Amino acid sequence: MPQGYNQQGDGQQSQNYGQQGQNYGQQRGDYEEVRRDQPAQAEPELSLWGYFVQCITKKYFEFEGRARRKEFWGFYLFQLISLYIPYFLFLFNQESTTGLVFLGIYCLVALALIIPGLAVACRRLHDINRSFWYYLLCFVPIIGWIILLVFWCKDGTPGRNKYGEDPKGRASA
């Protein structure tokens, strides 16, 4: 049967040209109109725990986009908590096999949080309109970490920058 025809129940063929591809671009979102005069919608604000969970689930491998300060510091707060609990339990149980179990848990948690830690640091640098290459400053003793700490504490660029929309939904100044 030729494309563009439908077989009807009475044996007649009716033509429906154009209906198959009529909304093709709109279905895929290719022709979605982007309005630059209106600010982007702000991402819903979560609790610090909510941002941590989001970073280790939905945004585990997401190095693109921007992360607000609350997301960055929420992730690192709960990363430290989740690393220090098994570490201190290991320190208090070094003589027993339980200590080795806690050391193993510590190592697994540390390995599991490397990628999302790098990803949220990358998105945080993007929020202040800096490339992730600035993260290499961590290899410069003392001064590099101080510079990164200042970058991570700065407020993000208002409005859209080359890395995406403002997660707070603010218009550019």
With vertex at residue 171, the alpha carbon angle to CA 165 and CA 173, rounded to the nearest 5 degrees, is: 115
pLDDT classification of 7: cutoffs 50, 70, 90: low
Among 16-30, 50-64, 95-109, the minimum mean pLDDT is found in 16-30
pLDDT tens-digit map of 127-163? 999 999 999 999 999 999 999 999 999 999 998 999 9
- Domain locations along the chain: 44-153
Q: The tokens 């309005």 sit on which residue?
A: 35
* pTM of the predicted protein model: 0.71
With CA atoms as reference, report the closest residue to 67 among 156, 159, 169, 173.
156
pLDDT tens-digit map of 76-131? 999 999 999 999 999 998 888 898 999 999 999 999 999 999 999 999 999 999 99
